[in-house]
Structure 1
Amino acid sequence: MIVRLPVQSTQGFGRYRLIAKLGQGGMAEVFLAAHRGPLGFEKLVVIKRLKPGIATEPEVNAMFLDEARLAARLNHPNVVQTYECGQIDDQYYIVMEYLEGHSLDRICRKLDPSRHRAIYLAILSDALAGLHYAHDLMDFNGQPLHVVHRDISPHNIFVTYDGQAKVVDFGIAKWATRDADTSTGVVKGKIRYMAPEQALATTVDRRADIFSMGLIFWELVVGERFWGELSDVQILQRLTFGEIPQLRERWPAAPDALDRICSRALAMAPEDRYATAAQMREDVEAYLATMGRRPGAAEIGRLIGETFAHRRAEVRSAISEQLGRLHAGTTEGPEEFEVLPVLEERGAVPWSQRMPVSHHFATPLPEAVLPDEESREDSISDRKTIPTIMVANSAQAKRRKALWTAAAAAGFVALAGVVWVVAMFIGRAGVEPDDGDATTVPQDSVAQPPIDLRRSDTSRLIELRIIATPLDAKIYLDDVELPSNPFFARFERDGTGHRVRVTADGYTPEARFVVFTRDEVLTINLRPVQSSPTDKRPKPGGATK
Structure 2
Amino acid sequence: MLLRWRGAGEEGAPIDFYRGERIGKYEVVTQLSVGGMAELFLGFTSGPGGFRKYVVVKRILPDVRDNEQFERMFLDEARITAAFNHPNIAQVFDLGQEDDGLYLAMEFIAGQNLNQITGACLRRKQQVPLGFTLSVVRDVCMALHYAHTFTAPSGEPSPVIHRDVAQKNVMVTYDGVVKLLDFGIAKAKGSLERTHAGTVKGTTGYMSPEQVRGEKLDGRSDLFSVGVMMHEMLTGARLFAGSTERDEMMKILEAPIPWPSHVAPHVPEQVGRVVMQALERSREKRFSNGRDMARAIEAAASSLIQDADHRASMMRELFAERMAATRALLESAEGTASSHMVDTAKRALRSDDGPYLPVREDTATPKNGNEPVPGKKPSRRVATVKKSQAPTPEDAEALTSAQRTRSNVLWGVVLLAILAGGGYGALRLSSALDSTVEPIPEVQLYDSRLAVFPEDGGTVVAGKKPPEVVKETAPRKEPVDDGPKTERTGTSRPGRATGKLSLNVKGQSAPIYLGKQKLGTMPLLGVELPAGKHTLRILDPQGEKRSLVVVIVAGETTRLNFESWQDL
TM class by smaller structure: 0.5 to 0.7
Equivalent residue for 2:350, pick from 321, 330, 345: 345
Asked if 2 retains the 8 angstrom alpha-carbon contact of 1:147 and 1:175, the reply is yes
**Matches for 1:181-192 after TM superposition, within 5 Å:** 181-192=194-205
Q: Classify 1:52/1:342 alpha carbon distance in 2 versus 1 (closer, same or farther; 3 Å).
A: farther
Aligned-partner Cα distance in 2 for 1:280–1:30: 33
**Matches for 1:128-143 after TM superposition, within 5 Å:** 128-143=141-156
Pair 1:5 & 2:4 matched: yes
Q: Classify 1:417/1:30 alpha carbon distance in 2 versus 1 (closer, same or farther; 3 Å).
A: closer
Asked if 2 retains the 8 angstrom alpha-carbon contact of 1:21 and 1:342, the reply is no
Q: Quote the residue 2:331 is aligned against.
A: 320
Q: Classify 1:359/1:83 alpha carbon distance in 2 versus 1 (closer, same or farther; 3 Å).
A: same
Asked if 2 retains the 8 angstrom alpha-carbon contact of 1:242 and 1:268, the reply is no
Q: Quote the residue 1:273 is aligned against.
A: 286
Q: Quote the residue 1:298 is aligned against.
A: 309
Aligned-partner Cα distance in 2 for 1:166–1:191: 22
**Matches for 1:440-455 after TM superposition, within 5 Å:** none
Q: Quote the residue 2:39 is aligned against.
A: 29
Equivalent residue for 1:53, pick from 63, 70, 85: 63
List gaps (5 residues or longer) in structure 1: 329-336, 378-389, 397-404, 419-442, 444-462, 476-481, 487-502, 509-522, 533-545
Asked if 1 retains the 8 angstrom alpha-carbon contact of 2:212 and 2:249, the reply is yes
Q: Classify 1:274/1:184 alpha carbon distance in 2 versus 1 (closer, same or farther; 3 Å).
A: farther
Pair 1:285 & 2:298 matched: yes
Asked if 1 retains the 8 angstrom alpha-carbon contact of 2:4 and 2:17, the reply is no
Q: Quote the residue 1:364 is aligned against.
A: 366
Pair 1:530 & 2:543 matched: yes
Asked if 1 retains the 8 angstrom alpha-carbon contact of 2:447 and 2:463, the reply is no
Deviation, 1:262, is: 1.6
Q: Classify 1:342/1:65 alpha carbon distance in 2 versus 1 (closer, same or farther; 3 Å).
A: farther
Q: Classify 1:93/1:412 alpha carbon distance in 2 versus 1 (closer, same or farther; 3 Å).
A: same
Aligned-partner Cα distance in 1 for 2:110–2:205: 27
Deviation, 1:370, is: 10
Higher-RCO chain (CA-CA 8 Å, sequence separation at least 6): 1
Q: Quote the residue 1:415 is aligned against.
A: 450
Equivalent residue for 1:159, pick from 167, 172, 197: 172
Q: Quote the residue 2:208 is aligned against.
A: 195
Pair 1:123 & 2:136 matched: yes
Q: Quote the residue 2:417 is aligned against.
A: none
Q: Classify 1:417/1:176 alpha carbon distance in 2 versus 1 (closer, same or farther; 3 Å).
A: closer
TM-score normalized by structure 1? 0.65
Aligned letter for 1:198?
A: Q
Aligned-partner Cα distance in 2 for 1:416–1:17: 44
Q: Classify 1:67/1:144 alpha carbon distance in 2 versus 1 (closer, same or farther; 3 Å).
A: same
Aligned-partner Cα distance in 1 for 2:100–2:376: 32
Aligned letter for 1:66?
A: D
Q: Classify 1:61/1:315 alpha carbon distance in 2 versus 1 (closer, same or farther; 3 Å).
A: same
Deviation, 1:118, is: 0.7
Deviation, 1:214, is: 0.5
Aligned-partner Cα distance in 2 for 1:220–1:170: 22
Q: Quote the residue 1:258 is aligned against.
A: 271
Task: Give percent identity, aligned residues only.
Answer: 29
Aligned letter for 1:415?
A: L
Q: Classify 1:504/1:108 alpha carbon distance in 2 versus 1 (closer, same or farther; 3 Å).
A: closer
Q: Quote the residue 2:223 is aligned against.
A: 210
Q: Classify 1:146/1:93 alpha carbon distance in 2 versus 1 (closer, same or farther; 3 Å).
A: same
Aligned letter for 2:450?
A: L
Aligned residues: 411
Q: CA RMSD in A?
A: 4.3
Asked if 1 retains the 8 angstrom alpha-carbon contact of 2:32 and 2:40, the reply is yes
Query: 3-state SS of the aligned residue for 1:413?
Result: coil
Deviation, 1:272, is: 0.5
Deviation, 1:343, is: 6.9
Aligned letter for 1:29?
A: E
Query: 3-state SS of the aligned residue for 2:102?
Result: strand
Q: Classify 1:350/1:338 alpha carbon distance in 2 versus 1 (closer, same or farther; 3 Å).
A: closer
Asked if 2 retains the 8 angstrom alpha-carbon contact of 1:163 and 1:301, the reply is yes
Aligned-partner Cα distance in 2 for 1:162–1:338: 25
Query: 3-state SS of the aligned residue for 1:23?
Result: strand
